[in-house]
Structure 1
Amino acid sequence: MLTRILLLGLSLGLIAAAQAVELTDEQRAAIEARIAPVGEVCLQGESCGGVPAAMGAMGASGAVAVVDGEGTYNTACLACHASGAAGAPIVGDAAAWSPRIAKGIDELYNSGINGLAGTGMMAKGGRADLSDEAVMAAVDFMVENSQ
């Protein structure tokens, strides 16, 4: 009896999983709207957001990802870099950013990607799901708006 119940549960789970793959146009549009602030993904050879495919970053899947520095900042960096939490330099505060910028962009990229020991700056701002390119684009956005 227990085996039949387990098999029935497994079967229902597989059916639900198979149905989850089939999305309506409305569901797909909702997903696209949720990820739009972070960036967009298109297939190799397509044009993404007006950027020719050759200019995008090529992912392992063959997709071209357009990286949006401001979008990454808004979703991953803003909480600390807009408030100064944990000593983070506030975007737009040229005096706070000046000594950091003087160290060079590679040092800023390294701090963003790997974190900064002894500070509140965690690797990728605590967002391990971010690509290095997304973090670098967010750093570029913050630097451009803090000089």
Structure 2
Amino acid sequence: MKVKSWLVAGAMTLAAVAQAQEMSDEAIKERIKPVGSVNIGGNDAQGAAAGGGGGGTRSGEAVYNNACVACHGAGVLGAPKHQVAADWQPRLDERGFDMLLQNAINGYNAMPPRGTCGDCSDDEIKAAIEYMMEGI
């Protein structure tokens, strides 16, 4: 079956028009824009939006989501899971909150000191534990 040359030419013209429409300045800018940015000091709003780095104290939720969820979300190597009373209550009964905090700061079993948040303050670690134990 022969294809008419005018049909092929028409299809190529439509494809060229579609591509030309996609090549507008705005479309090009959108396609090549940076996927992120680096904050080099001073802009507290950006640091706070990213969950830290702006000099302020990060919330327990922000610390958990950035540093704790990898292990405590799934219970990796026996880590107590977020808001699971059956995981937290025996630890509280046996060691108390202050010892749980010291274990989190200094490391315990498979958990390294400060978990995966090496730049967290003691207060931020405490807030993360409190967040994980909310409602227990």
Normalising by the smaller structure, the TM-score range is: 0.5 to 0.7
The reply to whether residue 83 of structure 1 matches residue 74 of structure 2 is: yes
Q: TM-score, normalised by structure 2?
A: 0.59
In 2: Cα distance, 1:108 partner to 1:95 partner: 15
Structure 1, residues 2-38: CA drift from partner, whole Å, max 9, x if none?
Answer: xxxxxxxxxxxxxxxxxxxxxxxx988x884454242
- In the alignment, structure 2 segments of 5+ residues that lack a partner are 1-38
Give the Å deviation of 1:67: 3.5
Larger relative contact order (CA 8 Å, sep ≥ 6): 2
Report runs of 4+ in structure 1 exceeding 3 Å deviation.
Answer: 30-35
Q: 2:61 aligns with which of 48, 65, 70?
A: 70
> Paired residues, what number?
97
**What SS does structure 1 have at the residue aligned with 2:115?**
helix
* Residues 87, 27 of structure 1: alpha-carbon distance in 2 compared, 3 angstrom cutoff: same
- In the alignment, structure 1 segments of 5+ residues that lack a partner are 1-25, 42-62
The reply to whether residue 38 of structure 1 matches residue 51 of structure 2 is: yes
Q: 1:141 aligns with which of 113, 131, 135?
A: 131
CA RMSD in angstroms comes to 2.8
In 1: Cα distance, 2:84 partner to 2:50 partner: 24
* Residues 104, 88 of structure 1: alpha-carbon distance in 2 compared, 3 angstrom cutoff: same
- The answer to whether the 8 A contact 2:57-2:124 is kept is no
Structure 2 counterpart of 1:112: 104
Which structure shows the higher strand fraction? 1
In 2: Cα distance, 1:88 partner to 1:110 partner: 15
1:110 partner amino acid: Q
- The answer to whether the 8 A contact 1:101-1:143 is kept is no
- The answer to whether the 8 A contact 2:114-2:125 is kept is yes
* Residues 110, 134 of structure 1: alpha-carbon distance in 2 compared, 3 angstrom cutoff: same
In 2: Cα distance, 1:66 partner to 1:34 partner: 11
Structure 2 counterpart of 1:101: 92
Q: TM-score, normalised by structure 1?
A: 0.55
Report the identity percentage: 36
Within a 5 Å distance, the mapping from 1:13-28 to structure 2 comes to none
Give the Å deviation of 1:71: 0.5
